[in-house]
Amino acid sequence: MIMKKLSLLLLLAVATSLSLIGQDAPNPTLNTAIRKHGLEKSKVMDIASWMCDVYGPRLTGSPMLDKATDWAQKTLKDWGMSNVHLEAWGPFGRGWEFTHFAMHATAPNYFPIIAYPKAWSPATKGVLSGEVIYLQADDEEDLKKLKGKLKGKFVLLDTIRTLKEWMDAPAKRYTSEDLLDMANAAAPGRRPDRDFNRLGGLSFNQKLFKFIMEEEPLAVLDRGFKGDLGTVFVTGARAEEGRVQDPKAKVIPQATLSVEHYNRIFRMMQKGIPVTLSMELKANYTNPDGMEHNIIAEIPGTDLKDEVVMLGAHFDSWHTGTGATDNGAGSSVMMEAARIILETIKETGIKPRRTIRLALWTGEEQGLLGSRGYVKEHFANTSPEGTIQSIKEAEQSKISGYFNLDNGTGKIRGVYLQGNAGVSPVFRAWLDPFKDLGAATLTLQNTGGTDHQAFDAAGIPGFQFIQEPIAYSTRTHHSNMDNWDHLVEDDLKQASTIIASFVLHTAMRDEKLPRKATELKAGSN
């Protein structure tokens, strides 16, 4: 009985698989050329060096992002991409750049401090100098007692963070067990929340922060919730109220110190030893019109040229490294994938049926703003909770899928299907020729926190690849050490190659990619 059932199942599986291979058999001519240009003649590390070493970091709204945007457009045009242009989104609000920052301990003894301004901190009036103070405050009574005592002081926001030595490797690759867990995971419920504000949940902490802002100390200092040994994780400053990008928002200088230096200061304070710091920040608010831009470039299609397949990655970064793994890696891989496709077309003479459109987003770090702006303009208006409110059918019905890369430098081990089971046999067939490169796992699971979500929310098949973690969360993601040297060449070559193949096969397919059942209803495709 069991045998019989099993045979039937096997038969069904084989039949399904055969029929899919009919539609989705990978094209060996294309893949051979793609592998040649992606693995043997790669330019991905050179692209990344220009993007990060020369044109990094790329904080949204900063002049350096504009320079990087110019370079990317020029490079894409030089390669022969068509319709290279910018598309505005916004208003984002004011941009920011820093042109000088230094912090030193000056008493009781001198030492240079590894520290960084939080983005959108206002410039200081020259070199500030003052004692540090920690607010021992558990309730509003305590705050009253501290009134007037913060002026001229550096306020320490955090207590000591105790460190442990690294008995485990900071960088890792997925094991078979990790991947099997993903492969065997059920379809997800809702997409995970993105939390931009860790202080937000605790109401006294919010009051404490508001109190500090009103008291106008010299600056507010913290040591981040992770990082050590010279690696400092730094994102944006907080305004007293609302968004720091709002030109009217009140912000005071905020900086994150390396934990060892912060702890040292704190331990001296605990001993009753006054500690004096100096700090200087030169910074400008930029971009007065408040509008930002995504970069768009195309490879024209042929018989199905009105339909598109998109590939993209966010081009913006935080400001203390050079935005290498977040997301120079993804942007370089996507540019490289486009280049590989161009070379493959030249070499094979096979032209894509659908138009291939590359997008490099900005404003991702502030909430997927660039990709959401683009999706709103072209495909659908969605609520912040992800419900479709209105659809622009002309374009929404013409896009086959969107491929994204934004989880660091790690090579591709498979794809997050975002609950889209229908696409599973298609991607299974397309991954098959890349098993030797370690990419074989499909998971129904979601992954969150990046731009494919904007597409997914609009009823468009939008995918992020499963990537090896390497040192993304432990060392590079949003840190001062997000630098080119922490990109893994072989991994980026592998990712460019596989994505070029996925995009080109999506462009060549008879049908558009299957959509999720729920979205199909809403999407009226």
According to CB under 8 A, which residues from 396 to 455 bind a copy of itself?
none
CB of 116 vs a copy of itself, minimal distance in Å:
7
Helices and strands: H and E segment counts in the chain:
15, 18
Smallest separation, CB 172 to a copy of itself (Å): 7
Rounded to the nearest 5 percent, the helix, strand and coil shares of the chain are 40, 20, 40
For CA atoms 362, 364, 370, 375, give the dihedral sign: positive
Interaction residues for a copy of itself, span 333-372 (CB under 8 A): none
What CA–CA distance (Å, rounded) separates 243 from 508? 44
Q: Nearer Cβ to a copy of itself, position 74 or 267?
A: 267
Query: Rule CB under 8 A: is residue 163 a binding residue for a copy of itself?
Result: yes
Minimum CB distance to a copy of itself smaller for 48 or for 431: 48
How many chain residues interact with a copy of itself (CB under 8 A)? 55
Closest to a copy of itself by CB, 109 vs 389, is: 109
Strands (E), 90-183: 95-107, 111-112, 115-117, 128-134, 154-156
Q: Which residue in the block uniquely carries the two structure tokens 């303009």?
A: 377
- CA-to-CA distance for 255 and 133, rounded, in angstroms? 15
Return the number of the residue (116 or 285) whose C-beta is nearest a copy of itself: 116
Order of all β-strands in the sheet with 82-89: 82-89, 292-299, 354-361, 304-314, 399-404, 462-467, 412-416, 441-443
- Any contact of residue 98 with a copy of itself (CB under 8 A)? yes
3-state secondary structure of 89: strand
Question: Distance between CA atoms of 153 and 130, rounded to whole angstroms?
Answer: 5
**89, 92, 96, 101: which one binds a copy of itself (CB under 8 A):** 101
Selected range binding a copy of itself among 76-84, 162-170, 192-200, 297-305, rule: CB under 8 A: 162-170
| Closest CB 302 distance from a copy of itself, rounded Å | 37
Q: Which of 47, 59, 64, 431 binds a copy of itself (CB under 8 A)?
A: 64
Binding of a copy of itself at residue 186 (CB under 8 A)? Answer: no
Give min distance, CB of 513 to a copy of itself, in A: 34
Classify 131 as helix, strand or coil: strand
**Shortest distance (Å) from residue 238 CB to a copy of itself:** 22
One of 100, 144, 194, 521 touching a copy of itself (CB under 8 A): 100
Q: How many residues does the chain have?
A: 525
Is residue 54 within the footprint of a copy of itself (CB under 8 A)?
yes
Tokens coding 221: 């200092």
483 binds a copy of itself (CB under 8 A): yes
Q: How far is the CB of 289 from a copy of itself (least distance, A)?
A: 23
Q: Which residues contact 345 (CB under 8 A, 6 or more apart)?
A: 299, 351, 352
- DSSP assignment string, 445-477: ----SSTHHHHHHTTS-EEEEEE--BTIIIIIT
Considering the rule CB under 8 A, would residue 267 count as an interface residue with a copy of itself?
yes
Please give the angle made by the CA atoms of 227, 229 and 233, to the nearest 5 degrees. 25
Return the SS3 of 386. Answer: coil
Of 109, 175, 389, 390, which lies in the binding site for a copy of itself, with binding defined by CB under 8 A? 109
Pair of tokens at residue 368: 């997927």
Helix axes 329-348, 63-79, angle to 10 degrees: 10
Taking the least distance from each CB to a copy of itself, the nearer of 109 and 176 is: 109
Q: What is the dihedral of CA 318, 321, 327, 331, to 10 degrees?
A: 120
Nearer to a copy of itself, 221 or 345 (CB): 221
Residue span binding a copy of itself (CB under 8 A) among the ranges 227-235, 330-338, 351-359, 383-391: 227-235
Near a copy of itself by CB under 8 A, which window of 143-151, 442-450, 484-492, 512-520?
484-492
Of 226, 264, 392, 398, the one binding a copy of itself (CB under 8 A) is: 264
**Residue 75: partners with Cβ closer than 8 Å, 6 or more residues away:** 47, 50, 335
Among 36, 172, 226, 250, binds a copy of itself (CB under 8 A): 172
Task: Name the one range near a copy of itself by CB under 8 A: 98-106, 144-152, 378-386, 387-395.
Answer: 98-106
Q: How far is the CB of 262 from a copy of itself (least distance, A)?
A: 10
Show the site string, 111-150: x = touches a copy of itself by CB under 8 A, - = not. xx-x-x----------------------------------
| Count of Cβ atoms closer than 10 Å to residue 14 Cβ | 10
* Of positions 36, 173, 351, 428, contacts a copy of itself by CB under 8 A: 173
Q: Which stretch binds a copy of itself (CB under 8 A): 81-89, 362-370, 393-401, 475-483?
A: 475-483
Task: Report the alpha-carbon distance of residue 203 to residue 294 in Å, rounded.
Answer: 37
Task: For residue 104, state whether it binds a copy of itself (rule: CB under 8 A).
Answer: yes
Distance (Å, rounded) from C-alpha 307 to C-alpha 315?
Answer: 24
The answer to whether residue 78 forms part of the interface with a copy of itself (CB under 8 A) is no
**CB of 293 vs a copy of itself, minimal distance in Å:** 20
Dihedral angle over CA of 196, 198, 199, 202, nearest 10: 120
Contact positions vs a copy of itself (CB under 8 A): 49-50, 53-54, 64, 98-102, 104, 108-112, 114, 116, 162-163, 165-173, 228-232, 258-261, 263-264, 267-268, 271, 273, 322, 470-471, 475, 480-481, 483-486, 488
